[in-house]
Amino acid sequence: MFKYKLDQLVWYLENNNVLSATILSRRYIDNLFPQKERCTEEQEELFGRFGNECILYATVHGEYSEDELFSTKEELLSKM
């Protein structure tokens, strides 16, 4: 399910700077309720705050989605 392991070094862009850090935590969000046709107003208010389905990783610089992270600096630079 997770592309990156805990304590793995990853590379990413933050304010146009190339940064690297280790993964401190990761979170999988599986949420049906942000889709308005599937929920009532009360459900949307309660569950909508979790956001859409995604995988998030935390580093010392903040939280990043899987699409924003790269295994190597070269891989990151090639996507720019």
Which residues of the chain are under the pLDDT cut of 50?
none
Is there a domain that residue 15 lies in?
yes
Counting the structural domains of the chain, the total is 1
Is there a domain that residue 2 lies in?
no
Is there a domain that residue 73 lies in?
yes
Is there a domain that residue 1 lies in?
no
If 0-12 CB within 10 Å is exposed, 13-18 middle and 19+ buried, where does residue 64 land? buried
Q: Residue 21: its pLDDT value, please?
A: 97
Output the CA angle 37-57-41, nearest 5 degrees. 20
Q: Residue 30: its pLDDT value, please?
A: 80
Which residues lie across from 10 on neighbouring strands? Answer: 21
Range of the domain at 51: 9-78
